[in-house]
Each structure stands twice: as C-alpha cells, then as structure tokens.
A and B are shown apart, each in its own frame.
Chain A
C-alpha cells in the first residue's frame, strides 16, 4: 500500500477478536462468519487492488434480521463495519479495516417482485446490475444505469456509489432510477424509505442515502424503476483529426437539441490499444474517435443519425460510419467496452481516474495531461463519457518498479486537481472512497465538509460505518454539534425591512 493513512485500529477491538468472532457466529450461524487468513484473503481489496487490508472478520449475513443483529452488536461494542457488495469499487470504498467487520451482502441475491404494470422491480442488494435487466428482458424491459462492471457489480453497491454508466446523460444515474430502499442503521433499526411511488412527500432521505458510500447504513432491499428497452439503437463512429474538433462535435450535437443514448470519446492511444486488443475496426489515423449512439423508435433514430452525420461532416470528421445492423453496433462498442483490458495488455498495471469537467475545458485538460505525462514519465490514455464531461484517464505503470505506483498516484491526483481547477469535480461516478478522500479539501472547505458530516452524525453518531472513507478528517459529532454565534445586531439596518 502507498501512503494512505487509515484510522488507527482500536486496540481493544483487536484484543477481543476471538470473542467477537464467537459472538458473531451466534448471530450468523453456519458458514456466515469467515475468520481464517486464507479465506479472508479474497476480501482484502476491491477494484482498487493497490490498497489491501485483511479485515478483523468477514460476515456474510443472509437475512435483514441478521444484518440488524450484527450492526446492533457492532454498535454496542464499538466495532467498525465496512459494507461490501461485489467488491468492484474503483475508489476503495470496500477496503477492509484491520479492526472492522467486513459485511459482505452477496447472499442477498434474490429478486423479490417484478411489477410490469407499475414498471418496478424490488430486489435484494446482492443481485447484479445486469441480473435485474436479465430478469425483465423477456418482456422488453431493462434497468437503465449500466456501469461497465454491470455483469458483476451489485445493485446494493450501485446504491452506495450512485453508479452511472455510458447511458446516464439520457437515463440518469442510480439516484434517478431508485424508488425505495430498506436499510439497516448502525443501531440495528430497520428503516424503509420510498416504495413504488415517485418522490418523497417531504425531505428526501432516499436521495441522501444513494451515493453515501456505505457511511449511513446498510441497504437490504432496493426498489428500482425499469424502462422499456428502446425499439432501435444505432451507433455512429466519427473520427477527428484533433480532440478539439471531436469536442466541438459533441457540443454541436447537444446544441442541436440531441441527447444521444451514449456519446463516448477515445483518444489516439486508446483507439490503438482497443484495436490491437480485439480488432474492432476502428480507424487508426484519427486523433480522437467518437461513438454516438441514438436509441428510440426507428423513425427517430434514423432521422437523428442523419443529423449527427451532417454535424460531423460540417466539423471536419475524417471517418464517419453508421451502424446498419445490431452486430455492427455491438462491434462499434466492443472496443470501447474493452478499453480497460486493452490497456491491461499494453501495461502491467494502470490506475483508472474519474473526474468530471465542463466539456469546453477538454482541450486544455488534455494538453495539461500530456505535460504531466511527460513530467511523470508515465503513459496515459483517455476514455471520456463525452456527453456529460466524465473523463477516465488510464495511467499506465508497473507496480514491480519501485516508486512507480506512487508516481502514478501523484499523476492521478494532479489530474483530479486539474479537473477541480477548471470547474469540475473529483469524481463523476466511481466515488470518493479512500482514493480521492484526501483531495476533498480541494473542492470543499472545512465548513462545507462539516455540513456533510453533520448528515453522517444524524445516521451514525459514533462513526462506525465505513470510517476512513470519503472524509479526510472524521470529526467527532459532539464537536460538530456545538454552535458559536456572536453578534446579533439587527442585520443591515440601512435597508427598509417592511
């Protein structure tokens, strides 16, 4: 592990490990408690494999009642808890703690209710994202958010991270597609929010839970909305001589009032890597490649494809190919979807970053990243959810070369700081986790962060749920609760108040 500092493990918890394991076995019998090093090893990291830590113990509950009992026990005994879905987090959100229970939700793997008339699915949190779509596909429906890891990542994890995907400009993130949850608080109490209806009548606690990275509670049931799968989808490949030209094309498409189902950009390095990996048929002479997908009724898709082609041609695109069959559309996407493994083939290790920028800043950001690439002596390719400005630079490094991981991390941090500098944010869809935790002050000042932590205090006053994640300094709730206000003269007396 590099220089990441986690909260100091509680010595008293470590000292009581054997008793804690015995107590947990009474709550979750059978194979639900794992305590040997060999069996805990698979849980030592999530998708950010640079960070590893064996937990105190792994607990795999299979009922809400067990989750409730485990959390109440942890709360009573001051033991931290790290919730985990499939462990595909790209920000270290499920990184275990030495003194913490790793609460794996994989046994919650059943879909509970499919309601086509109301267009909802009620599911347990351990069902995969794609599993929901598969369950409703025969009736022509699907669940819209589609993170790249959708074959493995769970809906519970998606709720924790507010996961996105390539279609979220048009169809929204997880938060826009979740209607309700059942959640267990650290006290062990079980709260239900939302349902099959839209919106909360009052304060939207549900909207605060989504994307809270496991710091507020453990979700044990999720109600999502499903949509009819578009009748048709077609994609266009547009190659450009510069990223500026490709960026201008993206802006022009949106300015023309078109919101594509997906709009992805790849830079030259990524185009070449993808092509070498699986021969997607991408043009190799371009500096930037756009994949624009239109979906909907056939008449609309065909009409809009022509408009996109017109816009691309007007902006000097070098290659323009519209898919004419479903096979061809899938082939266009295959290269993009294989971008990460393709980089894995040309570099032993890589870091995948996740900033969002105002799209107009793209040429500046790409130029500055090239300078950084030279400074750090590390290659960097870019895939970009172009419609919403979500940038995924892939920094290539070799973990076996001493110091290279640290260099790659520093490079990544510089990129994220650049995103903030140009008006963007540290993370568009991967979450803060541990990876971006220490960069939070670049975006938020102390008062901003304190207000966020006060939400945490309402749910988890002892900070036992996923400590060490999201916030660089976890403030004590008693300290955050104090208020000092001085002054108190009638404000701005120079103004008429009536």
Chain B
C-alpha cells in the first residue's frame, strides 16, 4: 500500500513535493479521494492528500467571490453560499452516485482539478469559467499564485483556467478563488413527452436558441427516464427544459415555450421541488448510478476494486445536434444514453463492463469530433485504455512540454491523464 502524506498547510505541501523530487518518488495528488477512480489508473509511491487544507478564507457575496483552501468540502461551500442566496453557477456534478462512493464527499480542489460542470454548463460555463485565482505547488516544489480575486482580470496568462481540468498533473492546488453568482429565485421545468432522440435534439435546439432563457435542456429516452422518480410515471421518453429566475418571468417564458412546442408532443410540467430533484438526478447521472450495497468503497488504496463489476460509463461532448448520432451508434450494442446540454453532452452506459473504446471513439469521429472520457471502468481497463480523448502528436507535444515546465521530475500524478505525462 502506498504511503499517505497529509499536509496541514502550503509549506507542508512544498515539503512533500520536495521530498518526492529529491528521492524520485511519485505522488498521487488527491483531495478527499472521492474521485480517485477518475482518469487513468496509476500507481504512485505516496498519496498527497490535501483534505487537511481546509477553510473558507474569503467570502464576499456582494463582490461575487469566494476563496477557500483546496481541501475545503464542496458541500460546505455550497451550504455557505446558499445562505446568501448564491450558488456555484456551473452546477458541479457529484460523482458519488456514479462512482459508487459517498455523495457530497468532494473538495474544492478536486472540483477545479476535474473541471466539473452540470446541466447549466451551456449558459453558465464549467468550473474553469469560474476559476479566478489560485495558489498551488508545482512539481518544482515551488509555491506560486496565478490570477486574482476579482471577476474580471486579464493580467498574465490565464493559468487558473488552464490548470482547471489538469487532474493534479501540473500542480497541487492549495487555495482557490472562484466566482459565485445569485441563486435563481425559483425554477420550473417544461417536459415534452415521447420524442425520439433526433426529434428531441431539434426541440432542445429551438428552445435553447429561443428568447426564453432555457438554463437546462436534457433528453432521457424512456428506459433512462424510468430511473428518475420525478418523470418515471410518464412511461416514455422525456425532454426537459428548465426555466429559472423570477416568477413573472418564468410564467411568461413557459407560456411562450408551450405555444412553440405544443405541436411536437404532449407537454407536462415539474414544479420547483420536482424540478430540483430532477435536475440533480440528471446532473449526477443517477440513472446509471452504482448499486448502493457495494460494501467498502472508495477508500484510498483499494483503487475501486468494486468497479470491476459495474457497467462501463462514458462521458461524451459533441456539437449538440450530433448527440443523437452517438446514442444511435452505441444503442445497437445495447448501450443506453442520457443527453444533457441540449444534446451536446451524452452519458453512455455500456452494455457490460467492457469500455469498447474503439467503438466509442469511432462514434465521436463520425459525429464530427468532440471528446469522450471513460468515467467508470475497472482499474485494469483504465490502466490499459486511453481514458481521455487521445491527443494528436502536436497537442501531445505541447502538453508534454508543459509538464516539463511545471513538473520536470514527473512526480505529480504522472500518467493520470496521459501516459508519460
């Protein structure tokens, strides 16, 4: 079992990385370990657990800004900002249900390192669109800062954005500053029932491209919708359009959308409470959730052996109108798809534990390009396959040279994203 290093502050993180560099040891950069089975499966000499670096260091609701140490729990931050009627607008998903670990376990550092986003992504951006500033320790055992604490800043390269989604491979975050936004006063959801995937993409495109500020557009084929209580009783495919804001505005927009979409299918509707439950289920891909009785899970060290027995899950991003072609290409093998982002985000649950990587990559190419990430698969599969979208030689070279700059000794989660990096 690899060693666990639990720094208490940034100076400890510098020490830990210095030790790793000087002794040619590798570190798995982690927060609480809630997403330890994301990315390629790697084995390191030690785990650098940043969950001891906790605490919100700045929260100014009127400035729309929050800073916290990297190990601070996302659940704590969301509760704090909710008390000021604010939110993380990018609606970070909780990987707990999908990966079969406890819900609500993630840290702020992990959220940025994995660039999380949810159904509001098309209108509000992903985590990287809200990363304003950071402090981090690179693989040179040097603490550095980038960005700032104001919402508008172009001073120097946008490293906070560039390091979002770097899965700990370039630097270990110690403190992050993010943008927060007002929480909508209320929410409703308009449902169009019984559409096939292609028709749904058309409906979502016209709704998102309308004047009516649709802040979520998801399509669940019947067999997927059956797993979400709020819509299961419809017994057919559900295309959901979320309206958020002040009540008079929602009423107006719902009326307009109903008139626009009536001809396309039977309309239904979810009130505020049902909407919140529904969109959380979409966000966390609950229809593909792991069973709840898996036994001990997600402990650092066990590397998710339980994943061996779960159906493989992919996350695919393509042009929204091309989403249904992904579902169609993989359905014939028995895969199930859930569409978010007006069709642009396709969650695919494969028929078995095999990721069938070549088939998925081919579907993305045929769809006109995009990227597919293997989210849930056995450690063996994640060690053997390219988990992230493979890079062309030129892009791969740029990324390898970035790694040379930030982590020349290859001590920070080497190979987590790309072999050798």
Given A211-B158, A488-B18, A492-B15, 14 additional A-B pairs, CB 8 A = A175-B158, A191-B395, A195-B319, A196-B318, A201-B372, A202-B373, A296-B213, A299-B252, A358-B150, A425-B148, A427-B154, A458-B404, A491-B12, A498-B4
**Which residues of chain A have a CB within 8 Å of any CB of chain B?**
115-120, 140-141, 161-162, 164, 168-169, 172-173, 175-176, 185, 189-191, 193, 195-205, 207-208, 210-212, 228, 230-231, 251, 254-259, 296-300, 303-304, 356-360, 385, 388-390, 423-432, 436, 440, 443-444, 447-452, 454-459, 470, 480-481, 483, 485-492, 495-498
Tell me the nearest residue of chain B to A164, going by C-beta.
Answer: B152
B4 touches A202 (CB 8 A): no
B401 touches A457 (CB 8 A): yes
Closest approach, in angstroms, between the C-beta of B152 and any C-beta of chain A? 4
Instruction: Bits for B37-80, please: 1 = Cβ < 8 Å to A, else 0.
Output: 00000000000000000000000111111000000000000000
Give Cα A193 to B156, complex, Å.
21
Tell me the nearest residue of chain B to A116, going by C-beta.
Answer: B209
Give Cα A283 to B319, complex, Å.
49
Chain B, interface residues (CB within 8 Å), range? 35 or more
Closest approach, in angstroms, between the C-beta of B218 and any C-beta of chain A? 14
Known pairs A297-B253, A448-B146; A201 contacts B404 (CB<8 A): no
A258 touches B320 (CB 8 A): no
27 A-B residue pairs with Cβ-Cβ distance under 8 Å, sorted by A, are A162-B158, A172-B129, A175-B158, A195-B369, A197-B318, A197-B370, A207-B161, A207-B164, A208-B159, A208-B162, A211-B158, A228-B210, A254-B62, A257-B184, A297-B211, A299-B248, A300-B246, A425-B150, A425-B155, A450-B144, A451-B138, A451-B144, A451-B146, A458-B402, A458-B405, A481-B404, A483-B408
Closest approach, in angstroms, between the C-beta of A220 and any C-beta of chain B? 14
| Residues of B with C-beta under 8 A to A176 | 125, 129
| Residues of A with C-beta under 8 A to B210 | 228
Give Cα A161 to B140, complex, Å.
29
Closest approach, in angstroms, between the C-beta of B233 and any C-beta of chain A? 31
Q: Indicate the member of B8, B154, B373, B417 with the most A CB atoms within 10 Å.
A: B154
Within 8 Å of chain A (Cβ to Cβ): is B153?
A: yes
B150 touches A388 (CB 8 A): yes
Closest approach, in angstroms, between the C-beta of B195 and any C-beta of chain A? 16
Tell me the nearest residue of chain A to B408, going by C-beta.
Answer: A483
Which of B165, B213, B322 lies in contact with A297, CB distance below 8 A?
Answer: B213
Closest approach, in angstroms, between the C-beta of A354 and any C-beta of chain B? 9
Give Cα A191 to B397, complex, Å.
11
Give Cα A183 to B414, complex, Å.
28
Give Cα A483 to B208, complex, Å.
50
Tell me the nearest residue of chain B to A480, going by C-beta.
Answer: B405
A485 touches B125 (CB 8 A): no
Give Cα A66 to B159, complex, Å.
31
B211 touches A202 (CB 8 A): no
* 6 tightest A-B CB contacts, nearest first: A488-B22, A454-B405, A201-B371, A300-B249, A257-B182, A196-B319
| Residues of A with C-beta under 8 A to B6 | 495-497
| Residues of A with C-beta under 8 A to B331 | none
B212 touches A492 (CB 8 A): no
| Residues of A with C-beta under 8 A to B162 | 203-205, 207-208, 455
B144 touches A491 (CB 8 A): no
A211 touches B152 (CB 8 A): no
Instruction: Bits for B14-39, please: 1 = Cβ < 8 Å to A, else 0.
Output: 01101101110000000000000000
Within 8 Å of chain A (Cβ to Cβ): is B117?
A: yes
| Residues of A with C-beta under 8 A to B126 | 198-199
| Residues of A with C-beta under 8 A to B202 | 117
B161 touches A487 (CB 8 A): no
Give Cα A117 to B319, complex, Å.
10
B248 touches A357 (CB 8 A): no
Tell me the nearest residue of chain A to B213, going by C-beta.
Answer: A296
Which of A304, A429, A455 lies in contact with B159, CB distance below 8 A?
Answer: A455
Which of A205, A481, A495 lies in contact with B398, CB distance below 8 A?
Answer: A205
Within 8 Å of chain A (Cβ to Cβ): is B166?
A: yes
| Residues of B with C-beta under 8 A to A385 | 152
Closest approach, in angstroms, between the C-beta of A383 and any C-beta of chain B? 14
Known pairs A173-B152, A259-B182, A458-B405; A488 contacts B19 (CB<8 A): yes
| Residues of B with C-beta under 8 A to A200 | 165, 371
Within 8 Å of chain A (Cβ to Cβ): is B277?
A: no
Give Cα A296 to B140, complex, Å.
49
Give Cα A202 to B169, complex, Å.
11
Which of A230, A443, A455, A497 lies in contact with B155, CB distance below 8 A?
Answer: A443
Tell me the nearest residue of chain B to A358, going by C-beta.
Answer: B63
A444 touches B150 (CB 8 A): no
Q: Indicate the member of B65, B159, B161 with the most A CB atoms within 10 Å.
A: B161
Instruction: Bits for B355-382, please: 1 = Cβ < 8 Å to A, else 0.
Output: 0000000000000111111000000000
Which of A300, A389, A452, A498 lies in contact with B146, CB distance below 8 A?
Answer: A452
| Residues of B with C-beta under 8 A to A204 | 115, 128, 161-162, 164-165
Which of A162, A203, A298, A299 lies in contact with B154, CB distance below 8 A?
Answer: A162
Give Cα A436 to B141, complex, Å.
29
Give Cα A230 to B402, complex, Å.
41
B150 touches A428 (CB 8 A): yes
Known pairs A231-B211, A360-B60; A490 contacts B19 (CB<8 A): yes
Please report which residues of chain B, range 117-133, place their CB below 8 angstroms from some CB of chain A when the two chains form the complex: 117, 121-122, 125-126, 128-129
Closest approach, in angstroms, between the C-beta of A360 and any C-beta of chain B? 7
| Residues of B with C-beta under 8 A to A496 | 6
Give Cα A381 to B358, complex, Å.
61
Give Cα A199 to B388, complex, Å.
13
Within 8 Å of chain A (Cβ to Cβ): is B263?
A: no
Give Cα A454 to B394, complex, Å.
18
| Residues of A with C-beta under 8 A to B245 | 296, 300
B129 touches A448 (CB 8 A): no
| Residues of B with C-beta under 8 A to A115 | 319
B19 touches A455 (CB 8 A): no
A258 touches B182 (CB 8 A): yes
Known pairs A198-B344, A199-B126, A358-B63; A207 contacts B158 (CB<8 A): yes
Closest approach, in angstroms, between the C-beta of B213 and any C-beta of chain A? 6
Give Cα A300 to B253, complex, Å.
9
Give Cα A52 to B16, complex, Å.
49
A257 touches B85 (CB 8 A): yes
Closest approach, in angstroms, between the C-beta of A45 and any C-beta of chain B? 21
Within 8 Å of chain A (Cβ to Cβ): is B341?
A: yes
Which of B16, B165, B185, B213 lies in contact with A202, CB distance below 8 A?
Answer: B165
Which of A254, A303, A388, A456 lies in contact with B182, CB distance below 8 A?
Answer: A254
